[in-house]
Structure 1
Amino acid sequence: MTRHDVDMERTFAALPPAHGRGFAQTWWGQAWLKALEETALDSAQLKAGRRLARAGAVGAVSVRPGRITAVVQGRDRTAHRADVLLEELTGEQWDRFLDMAAERAGHVAALLDRDMPPHLVEDAAATGIELLPGMGDLEPECGCAAWDHCGHTAALCYQVARLLDQDPFVLLLMRGRGEHDLLDDLQARSTAPAEDPAEPPVSSDPEGVDAAEAYATGDILPPLPALPELPAEPGVPPSLVTETPPAPGVDPAALEFLAARTAAEAHRMLAEALRAEPEQHAAEAELTLDQDAVRLAASASPSESVAQRLAEGSERGRERLAVAVRAWRLGGVAALSVLDEEWTVEGAALARARAALDSAWDEDERPSLRAKGNRWTVIGTPGQLRLGRDGRWWPYREERGRWVPAGGPAQDPATALASAQLATEEEQP
């Protein structure tokens, strides 16, 4: 899909109810509503449309050349597709409008500021182009089979007036031109040099210099500003609590949790990048879904609903997720791998492990160990040593029939086991 295709259809999310405020604050938004109110034959339908729009009954609004569309829910909760048609400008009319606007820099600046000054509309009208709709220009079509404006199409028009207040390009799209295409055309007309028949044509090829040459002259350019300082703490994401209920399947609490953790992670990564030398930056392996769920659970205290979603996403359940969180806080991905993986130690790795175990204690102090894979259990005690694939030893202890991490890693197995025993003693009353 090209940018032109995207530009020629815009969809605006449903707006919250408009309690206690008018639908149009700008003069062009009011002109839009005037065209509606002068066209509709039944004032009762206009009142019904205002009530529906104020109550937030209008769904997402799709805007295309010549047509606006939305699903509107009536007072009886029945949903109808409502369309309002507006005649597009012809190609010749657009050329005249663009030529006129390009000659007046103020018109371009106003549009870029999302403004539609009266003199722009007046200048367009002087060239025979009516941008704003007049009486009878807004043609309704509705799934309720009404032949004139009904409450559904009226509600759509009132809602569109709010969109027009925010962005007059909505009106220009209805008239047939998307924002990017229109601005590109204005830019081309504004920068095109006036042609002199007596002068030979000038090449349109852009002028420039070789990239290496431009870089070599960097010393004549003004210095770049200093990098901004690292904020003291991560930013606070916006609250997602609104008057509009969330779409089906969307959990605002989960989104707020993810936004907060993303901000914290971005702050951490930026701090790390600012501390490190350029060549020290190392690409981190992408986390699996399970690992990312454990990371999120370990990074904060999620709500009950979010914790349950993380437990389901990791496929661990609440108890196993709690153990995985403990491991993550001790050593991230490496600690989680030691928790989950049982592998066979052999070859040089086995020789190094046996040498480390033999030299870790004096002969009369060496505990009795039972080996299974990369795990050495201390016989007669609730202690265990696990060997990571990086050669480090991780202490574990048995709690309620389950082996759980008891401390961080160590190069020496005796040090690792001692830290597990010390943690056990500190937890005893």
Structure 2
Amino acid sequence: MRQGRIPSRRDNADVISIAPAPGDITFTCSCRPDPGICPHSAAVGYRVAQHVRANPGVLLTLRGGSMKELRTMVRVHTPTDPAPAPGPEQTRTGTDAHQAFGRFNARPTRPARARTTQTVPAPLLDGLRSDPPAPGLTTRALRLLIRDAAARASALLAGRPLPAGDDPVQDAARLLADPAHRRYLEHAAEQVGLSTLQMRDLALAYVYGGAAGVEVALWPLAADTEVFAHAEAAIQPHRPAPLASLISQDNQLTDAAARVQLRLGSDGRWYPFTDWHGTWRPAPGPSNNPATAYKAARLALRNR
């Protein structure tokens, strides 16, 4: 990201430009070959906006100037007619973001002063009160997308893997797994054609098992009969009604008497589900061991 510098008296005798013009900021990222705003650039821009709002002096540093230089320019400045807008033939100069932040971090620090209270500025987007003109995104959706982009950028910086997010239902479940996004539950369910209850269960499935947990909650998968025979033998000592029948279908092993169902995921783990008013709801505790997953489902029923 690059921004233009603060013009000096030699640039223009009548104009002191502090805030960058709309065309003064450009974005480049290694995730895409062409310039433009990607989720990582949006996250960085949102974070920079928060810093500038909390400490406007950061803007001077990003513009290649200093507070001392600005005071000098204001003292000797005499306003006249507004300067004409820069034409397309003018070449913009700027300060690379890495250099600007390096300069800002290298500045001498002042001794800390005692404070009775500390004011934390609200995120910039929370100040928006109206939606942009159609067909733009609503402020509600914009807040969600930018917060998610910031979270994904943080995960990339920390080296954590990110889900592909190709399926809209799985991606909605991923977003709603964050408690801060639960208020969008009904809207997300409507967008993907599910009921609110189904969408909530998929969000729980992502919390408990990630993308693989959503997958087993959504679709039946093929499974090996020998694997199921081993699973039946493993859970038998833990069944409250050992003589009740077990039902095996696709990747699902159901103990209806115990109100427990295990589903084998594509990652080789067993995912526990419990009966909730006739609906199989995801439970915490997926495991490679079917007996461990079965006990986790029984524990979830006791804690309900």
Give the alignment partner of residue 264 of structure 1, picking from 151, 155, 164: 151
Offset at residue 324 of structure 1 (A): 0.6
1:295, 1:245 → 2: CA distance?
Answer: 25
Question: 1:261 deviation in Å?
Answer: 3.0
Distance 1:329 1:182 in 2: 53
Give the deviation of 1:245 after TM superposition.
5.8
Corresponding position of 1:291: 170
Query: Residue 191 of structure 2 aligns with which residue?
Result: 313
Query: Cα offset for 1:405?
Result: 0.8
Q: 1:114 to 1:312 in 2, by over 3 A?
A: same
Structure 1 contact 240–256 (Cα < 8 Å) conserved = no
Contact 2:163–2:211 at 8 Å: present in 1 too?
A: no
Give distance in 2, aligned partners of 1:363 and 1:315. Answer: 38
Which residue of 2 is the match for residue 426 of structure 1?
303
Alpha-carbon distance in 2 for matches of 1:372, 1:245: 49
Q: Which runs of 5+ in 1 are unaligned?
A: 1-103, 116-164, 188-224, 229-234, 274-280
For 1:417 and 1:302, how far apart are their aligned partners in 2? 30
Equivalent pair of 2:128/2:139 in contact (CA under 8 Å) = yes
Q: Which residue of 2 aligns with 1:354?
A: 229
Residue 398 of structure 1 corresponds to: 275
CA gap 1:237/1:357 in 2 versus in 1, 3 angstroms: farther
1:324: which partner in 2?
202
Who is 1:300 aligned against? 179
1:424 and 1:282 map into 2 onto residues whose CA distance is 32
- Give the total of aligned pairs: 207
1:408 aligns with 2:294: no
Q: State how far apart, in whole Å, the 2-side matches of 1:403 and 1:363 are.
A: 20
TM-score by length of 2: 0.57
Q: Deviations over 1:17-66 (max 9, x none)?
A: xxxxxxxxxxxxxxxxxxxxxxxxxxxxxxxxxxxxxxxxxxxxxxxxxx
Query: Is 1:182 aligned to 2:182, yes or no?
Result: no
User: What one-letter code is carried by the residue in structure 1 that aligns with 2:271?
Assistant: W
**Structure 2 vs 1, CA of residues 363 and 251 (structure 1 numbering), >3 Å: closer, same or farther?**
closer
Matched to 2:185, the amino acid is A
Deviation at 1:393, TM superposition (A): 0.8
Partner SS for 2:133: coil
RMSD: 3.6
Structure 2: tracts of 5 or more residues without a match: 1-7, 20-78, 94-101, 106-121
Equivalent position amino acid for 1:267 in 2: S
1:377 to 247, 251, 254: 254
- Report the Cα offset of residue 114 of structure 1: 6.9
The change in CA–CA distance for 1:109 and 1:372 in structure 2 (over 3 A counts) is farther
Q: Distance in 2 between matches of 1:283 and 1:253?
A: 24
Counterpart CA distance in 2 for 1:303 and 1:343 is 29
Q: TM-score, normalised by structure 1?
A: 0.42
Q: Aligned in 2, Cα 1:107/1:400: closer, same or farther, shift over 3 Å?
A: same
Q: Report the alpha carbon displacement of residue 391 of structure 1 after superposing the two structures with TM.
A: 1.7
CA contact (8 A) 1:294 1:314 kept: no
Aligned amino acid, residue 344 of structure 1: A
Distance 1:114 1:399, change over 3 A: closer
Task: Say if 1:372 and 1:245 are closer, same or farther in 2 by CA, change over 3 A.
Answer: closer
**Is 1:106 matched with 2:10?**
yes
**Which position in structure 1 is the counterpart of 2:211?**
333
Distance 1:364 1:110 in 2: 84
CA–CA distance in structure 2, aligned partners of residues 282 and 267 of structure 1: 11
Counterpart Cα distance in 2 of 1:376 and 1:328 = 20
Q: Cα 1:286–1:326, aligned 2, differ >3 Å: closer, same or farther?
A: closer
